[in-house]
Structure 1
Amino acid sequence: FENLEFKYVETYAGIDISGGPILKNLNVQFHAGQRILLVGGNGAGKSTLLKMIGGKHLPTSGCWELGHRDSFRDTMLNNQRTMATSDWGNRSVAFASHSAAYSADIAVEEMMVKLQQTYPDRRADLLKCLRIDLSWRMHKVLLPTTCERI
């Protein structure tokens, strides 16, 4: 990403009542094979960034190049981009204020109960592909080299 900016556009009676940018002056490089941990509080822009990477949202300004090509506008790249998410359809959404701390002490296994019941094969594939340990706790960050909890 280079100088990427995104804001949700909202109008009322033809007047722009949008707030400021959710993401501003974002400059990031991703490399093949990297694993990236995206961490931030509610409203920090994590989901927005993932939706941009997946092609669901276009930036207000800036660009994202994939192989020196504009990933947002070059349709030849569509078959090289995939976004797996459950929010393409209807779903219930909970809301917490931007200042609310997320500190639920639950195991990854508990978070995946519905996935296990509905799509056991998909769950197994995700566990293997992402090397997920079901005992990991959602309120802890693991150091990638030693797997010690901090």
Structure 2
Amino acid sequence: MTSNGCPDELAIDCRDLTFHFNPNDTEPVLSGLNIQLARGDCCLLVGANGAGKSTLLRILAGKRLTKTRNCRILGQDVFMNTPGGVVYLGTEWCMNPVVRSDIVVSHFLDSVGGWRHRARRDRLLEILDVDLDWRMHQISDGERRRVQLCMGLMTEWDVLLLDEVTVDLDVLVRADLITFLASEAKERGATILYATHIFDGLGSFPNKIVHIQLGSTPRPTLEWSPGSGDLFSVALGWLREDRELRRKKEAARGRIRGPKGDTRDARTFFDKYDYAH
């Protein structure tokens, strides 16, 4: 049973998920995407920028409405009947003006119930090396990210959705955090879906890897173990494949990234936009 009383269904179950930002768009952001994760799975979500990783995580978190009812967490529809025990942590949090205001970290954590979860909060304060006397408007982006993680992880969760939130952390704090997350999966059967572009030190963390390519899942979920190979090399191979496919698709539509043989008069351009005079 899960901590919220649900039976042992798949923790995450998306089948043939298709999503458009705008109903009038001819090409979907996600198309026929499939991902199934059991309780206790630690899964890395790998894909190029713009592949749809963040969109998928926000759908799973119940932050985007889909037309179809084929995306479930702990057996419940992620939008119509969002289950408890789901935590989503994304990079946009640190841009909120509230979390950049003059608030003492201890008061900030207490405002979201830190005093009720003191044991886990204190453990995370040590792992993330957070000072309760910090003031939110005076600390760095990396330190602010640590506060976000402490706040988001101090209650017990069943499913954790992470979107690039370790990018600001130094290597020591990140390593200790990954160790903590792995222990949560092993000891409590919690499920983690983690989108990242930083693969060093992660070889023993996942037991599954999902590849998102231009909004779809082109291959079955990869079963992974510490002896499966070089995680970085696997991800790099997939990303090269993604880039070639994207370039071919864009070229077929007459779109090319990078230099386009622009013949505009450079002097005219710079004279127009030279704000130094």
1:114 aligns with 2:141: yes
Measure the CA separation in 2 of the matches of 1:42 and 1:34: 24
Aligned length: 116
Measure the CA separation in 1 of the matches of 2:199 and 2:78: 34
What is the Cα deviation at residue 29 of structure 1?
Answer: 0.7
Counterpart for residue 30 of structure 2: 23
Residue identity opposite 1:138 in structure 2? I
Q: Which protein has the larger Cα radius of gyration, Structure 1 or Structure 2?
A: 2
Counterpart for residue 84 of structure 1: 89
Report if aligned partners of 1:8, 1:19 keep a CA contact under 8 Å in 2: no
Measure the CA separation in 1 of the matches of 2:62 and 2:145: 27
TM-score, scaled to structure 2: 0.35
Report if aligned partners of 1:51, 1:57 keep a CA contact under 8 Å in 2: yes
Measure the CA separation in 2 of the matches of 1:3 and 1:118: 34
C-alpha RMSD of matched pairs (Å): 3.4
Higher helix proportion (structure 1 or 2): 2
Matched ranges for 1:1-40 at <5 A? 1-9=14-22, 16=24, 18-40=25-47
1 or 2 for the larger relative contact order (CA 8 Å, sep ≥6)?
2
Measure the CA separation in 2 of the matches of 1:126 and 1:3: 33
What is the Cα deviation at residue 65 of structure 1?
Answer: 2.3
Residue identity opposite 1:68 in structure 2? G
What is the Cα deviation at residue 3 of structure 1?
Answer: 1.8
Deviations 1:49-80 (A, max 9, x none): 111111111224341123433222114x2x22
What is the Cα deviation at residue 127 of structure 1?
Answer: 4.5
What stretches of structure 2 of length at least 5 have no aligned partner?
1-13, 97-139, 151-168, 183-196, 205-225, 234-277
Counterpart for residue 66 of structure 2: 59
Deviations 1:30-49 (A, max 9, x none): 11111111111121101111
2:180 to 114, 129, 133: 129
For residue 43 of structure 2, give the secondary structure of its aligned residue in structure 1.
Answer: coil
Counterpart for residue 102 of structure 1: none
Deviations 1:4-36 (A, max 9, x none): 1111117xxxxx3x2411111112211111111
Counterpart for residue 95 of structure 1: none
Measure the CA separation in 2 of the matches of 1:40 and 1:118: 23
TM-score, scaled to structure 1: 0.58
Counterpart for residue 41 of structure 1: 48
> Percent identity of the aligned residues?
28
Measure the CA separation in 1 of the matches of 2:46 and 2:34: 16
What is the Cα deviation at residue 84 of structure 1?
Answer: 1.3
Measure the CA separation in 2 of the matches of 1:127 and 1:67: 23
Residue identity opposite 2:90 in structure 1? T
Measure the CA separation in 1 of the matches of 2:200 and 2:178: 18
Higher strand proportion (structure 1 or 2): 2
2:79 to 66, 72, 78: 72
